[in-house]
Amino acid sequence: MVRAARAISELTVLLEALLARGRWRAATGDPQAIVDLNEALNLALAGSYKLYEADIRLGLARHSANEGNMGDGRANLKRARALADETGYYWARTEAEALAKEFGD
């Protein structure tokens, strides 16, 4: 999926492919999640894609928690929440609240 998305000129296609694979990897504990999520984050930041950034930050929070790095996890969760509040992105806010409960916050 990511390989095919790289051949398409529409950036959001690649963002979605990297995000999907990165979040799946994070959810399953695959340490390679960081590779996809960091690439997606760089693209999202460069293009000011705030909704994607919120989703990516949630994936990074999950990955950090899986790796035992709760400091980074909480920092990404905080940024995801801020983006959700700023943009009114309901689903990111809902997921951030659920993830915060998992973190014990």
- Encode pLDDT of 3-53 as tens digits: 666 666 688 999 999 999 999 999 999 999 999 999 999 999 999 999 999
CATH number of 2-103: 1.25.40
* 8 A C-beta contact, residue 5 and residue 43: no
Q: What is the pTM of this model?
A: 0.89
Break the chain into its structural domains and give their ranges.
2-103
